[in-house]
Amino acid sequence: MMSLMPRRFPFGNDLEDFFGEGVSSGMQCDIYEKDGNCYVEADIPGFTKNEISVEVEEGYLTITASKNQEEENNDVNYLRRERTSKTLQRQFYIGNLDDEHIQAEFTDGILKLCIPKLPEKEHKKVIDIQ
């Protein structure tokens, strides 16, 4: 009986084919609010804290992890080489946040951010009719 299932799915197990070589969406994140703070926990295994950057701009939080390709070793005949340059990036809209007091901790491949939220500003303005 002939199988109608393809041997290989177009995007494989990860989405690297979709996002391009070396770029993956493999960063898993949880975001929650508690006691007036916003918390972000991101799984970034295989990176060091020096390879991770966190940026805030106009309410958007961007987490980037970037690893450069290891140096070429001409004395070795590679049968398969999977450890190459890699960049992971996620961006979230957090809103009205206090970017001066964000706390970040990276332990055992997990980035934990505590982001204080500022009080919501009232955007409603009543116009006096003359």
Structure confidence by residue, pLDDT tens digits, 50-95 = 999 999 998 899 999 998 876 667 788 888 877 778 899 999 998 8
The reply to whether the predicted model has a pTM over 0.75 is: no
26 pLDDT tier (thresholds 50, 70, 90): confident
CA distances from 52 to 16, 33, 85 (A): 19, 23, 14
Give the CATH class of 22-70+84-116.
mainly beta
Say if residues 104 and 113 touch (Cβ distance below 8 Å).
yes
CB atoms within 10 A of CB 127: 5
DSSP codes of every residue in 105-120:
EEETTEEEEEEEBPPP
- Structure tokens, 40: 């972000």
Helix (H, G, I), strand (E, B) or coil at 19: helix
For the chain, which residues make up each domain, given as ranges? 22-70+84-116
Q: Does residue 97 carry a pLDDT above 60?
A: yes
